[in-house]
Amino acid sequence: MKQFFKNIKGRVQAGMTKAWCKLTDCKGDLAVNTIGGIIIAVVLIGLLIAAIRAFFPGFFTAMFNSMQQKLNANW
């Protein structure tokens, strides 16, 4: 009888250990944080570009035209 209860206790402890491992699993945590950081960075850069285009409508056009003139002047 003592062996029977010891066996049940061992199975319960093993089950609790498995459940604890499943609930506190941190595998892939770095990858998830990295991907989340990249997504947030892309969204922030997009919002920054949208704000620049809203407040300075000709900013990118003037910048690219200036770069084009400087690059073509060297040829």
Q: Work out how many domains the chain is built from and give that number.
A: 1
Range of the domain at 36: 2-73
Question: What is the longest distance spanned by two Cα atoms in the chain?
Answer: 96
CB atoms within 10 A of CB 62: 11
Query: pLDDT for 30-40, tens place per residue?
Result: 777 889 899 99
Long-range contacts of 70-75 (CB under 8 A, 24+ apart): none
- pLDDT of residue 26 exceeding 70: no
Q: What is the pLDDT of residue 38?
A: 94
